Amino acid sequence: MALREQGFAEPGAVKGIEGIAVSRADNISVANYNNKSVWKAPVIASQATSNTQFADKEQIWADNAESSPFFGNVYVCYGKFIGGGAEPLIVATSRDGGS
């Protein structure tokens, strides 16, 4: 499998069958994690160029180590299913905390 890196996609509708979107929140607590107003609007992380493509098997990581030079980066890894053989793994990276 190939591994490719890209940035988060531009806002807008998902062009494929399904896609990957990420929402974030700051200062989550037991009392407010279920409150919709705490969460920011989702950002589409996957990119599709046709109606038959789809993204699946997503995983997400955030670098939360303040000592890291990559602190605040968010990474989403997913399989990009385009048909006809090997399906590449995509790593979408946000360098602005998921905005």
- On whether the CB atoms of residues 24 and 41 are closer than 8 A, the answer is no
Calculate what percentage of the chain has a pLDDT beyond 90: 7
3-state secondary structure of 31: coil
Instruction: Calculate the average pLDDT of the chain.
Output: 75
Distance CA 14, CA 21 (A): 9
Identify the band that residue 70 occupies on the pLDDT scale cut at 50, 70 and 90. very high
13-47 pLDDT, tens digit per residue, is 666 567 777 888 878 889 988 888 888 888 877 76
Checking if the pLDDT of 3 tops 50, the result is no
- On whether the CB atoms of residues 16 and 48 are closer than 8 A, the answer is yes
Judging by DSSP bridges, how do beta strands 21-22 and 54-62 pair with one another? unpaired
pLDDT at 65: 93
- Prediction pTM value: 0.64
pLDDT at 62: 87
How far, in Å, are 30, 37, 48, 91 from residue 80 at the CA level?
34, 31, 8, 10
For residue 90, give the H/E element and its range.
strand 89-94
pLDDT at 50: 64
Task: Retrieve residue 30's tokens.
Answer: 């037991």
pLDDT at 85: 65
